[in-house]
Structure 1
Amino acid sequence: MGEMLVCCFVVLLLTGGFLAFFHVPSDGTVSYSGSYEPLRGTPMSDAYASALNIGFDVRGGPLIRRLHHTSSILLVLGTILWALLGRFRYALAALGLGALAALSGYGAVDDLLSGTVLGKVPIPLWYGLHLLTAPALGAVLVVSSRREAARQPRTPGLIALSIGLTVLAVLSF
């Protein structure tokens, strides 16, 4: 289970790196000028305009954004399953960091938190928190996976199976 969580995290890192090239973590107000006609001219935050830009104007943007979202859901579900298997200490830390990363990710694009109390937090702070939780979550997953593998050594076939199942889960979700 630990290897599958690490694989989901690697997918999150790769897709997040791609999305970071196009995301503008700013709460400055702009008038939307992208290709989505119904919103053209509508005032919105820079962050939300960049999310729309990724969705409508960046080649492969919707696919990468969907993979990022799907991998995060699979990471949370896998962590819950991991806790049910008895790895409470690591699973609770990973679940807490995963929840914080998800919340800060939504805050960074000014998407679902807009208009709420949490929407008053500046977008650059959400983005910074999102970037800080990634290495912490990665460290928890790698350390716990290595300790789990030290107790029960993994075979190359099992590792290949976990990578294959992760790819299958991410692409079919």
Structure 2
Amino acid sequence: MERLRQLVGEMLIYCFVVVLLTGGFLAFFYVPSGQTVAYSGSYEPLRGTPMSAAYNSLLNLSFDVRGGLRIRQLHHTSSALLVLGTVLWALLGRFRYALAALGLGVLTGLSGYGAADDLLSGTILGKLPIPMWYGLHLLVVLAMGAVLVISSRREAARQPRTPGFIALSIGLTILMIFYL
């Protein structure tokens, strides 16, 4: 049970790395602004539709940037696996870190949707400015990374990782991300 918990924790680290890499790519094209602009991208049915600059940048990323939609999907899938893996991690008994990571994961997802200005728009939570959501998203991601790294280092101090264990955790993480 101890080794399984360590494997799940290790997989969470690798999911987090994928989230960071894809999030870094997405940040180059994202505009954290609530200013209303008219859509002028390649998706014809939406041309001229007024929307926030944040949502406009996401649509441009999805339709006009090569591989942009795939990167968004990888980011979303990895984020969802991170939260689900944290639930499994908590069930396996690492409550102190898992509950903190789970709370941060939920807050990260909520702030990510708030920054995108698509699902929360028009709700009570949609009243917060988009740059505030984006800043919260970045802060919570850093906090979650710290929790995962600290936990992983403590687990590794108790039971060192072997090259085979690391290869297994990387392989399982790749399978989970690309086949779920």
Q: Does 1:153 align with 2:147?
A: no
Per the alignment, residue 80 of structure 1 pairs with 87
Return the alpha-carbon distance in structure 1 between the equivalents of residues 118 and 16 of structure 2: 22
In structure 1, stretches of 5+ residues that fail to align are: none
**What is the aligned length?**
173
Per the alignment, residue 3 of structure 2 pairs with none
In structure 2, stretches of 5+ residues that fail to align are: 1-7
Per the alignment, residue 8 of structure 1 pairs with 15
Q: Does 1:104 align with 2:117?
A: no
Paired letter, 1:135: L
Select which of 43, 48, 67 maps to 1:36.
Answer: 43
Q: Does 1:163 align with 2:180?
A: no
Task: Report the alpha carbon displacement of residue 24 of structure 1 after superposing the two structures with TM.
Answer: 0.3
**Post-superposition CA distance 1:100-136 (Å, at most 9, x none):** 1100000001010001000000000000001111111
Return the alpha-carbon distance in structure 1 between the equivalents of residues 153 and 91 of structure 2: 19
SS at match of 1:30: strand
Return the alpha-carbon distance in structure 1 between the equivalents of residues 122 and 179 of structure 2: 33
How big is the alpha-carbon RMSD for the aligned residues of Structure 1 and Structure 2? 0.6
TM-score, L = length of structure 1 = 0.99
SS at match of 1:41: coil
SS at match of 2:178: helix
Task: Report the alpha carbon displacement of residue 148 of structure 1 after superposing the two structures with TM.
Answer: 1.1
Query: Post-superposition, which runs of at least 4 consecutive aligned residues in structure 1 deviate over 4 A?
Result: none
**Post-superposition CA distance 1:7-53 (Å, at most 9, x none):** 00000000000000000000000000001111100000000000101
Q: How high is the sequence identity, in percent, across the aligned residues? A: 79
